[in-house]
Amino acid sequence: MTVQEWSIVGAVVAVCFGAIGPAFAEGRAIASAMDAVARQPEAGGTISRTLFVGLAMIEAIAIYCLVIALVLLFANPFVH
C-alpha cells in the first residue's frame, strides 16, 4: 500500500479507537453526576457546572484523535 492509503487507515483507526476511552469516561462522569444530583438535588448547579468543565477536559482527548486523523488526511507531512 502507498503512504496515502496507510494514512487513511491510520486516520480511521485513530478516530475509532480514540473515541472508545473518552466515551467510557464521559459515561462514568455523567453517571456519577446524576447519582450525586439524585442524592443532593440542591447542589445540582455546582455539580452540573463542574460536570461540564470535566466533560470538556475528557472530550479534549477525543478531539486530539480527531486532530491526528485530520492531519493524516489533509496535512500529512509524509505526502508531497
Among residues 3, 26, 7, which one has the least CA distance to residue 72?
Answer: 7
Q: Does 19 bind other proteins (CB under 8 A)?
A: no
In the complex, the smallest distance separating the C-beta of residue 37 from other proteins, rounded to whole angstroms, is 16
In the complex, the smallest distance separating the C-beta of residue 31 from other proteins, rounded to whole angstroms, is 19
Which stretch in 3-11, 22-30, 31-39, 41-49 sits in contact with other proteins by CB under 8 A? 41-49
Among residues 76, 56, 40, which one has the least CA distance to residue 32?
Answer: 40
Site for other proteins in 45-74 (CB under 8 A): 45-46, 49, 52-53, 55-57, 59-60, 63-64, 66-67, 70-71, 74
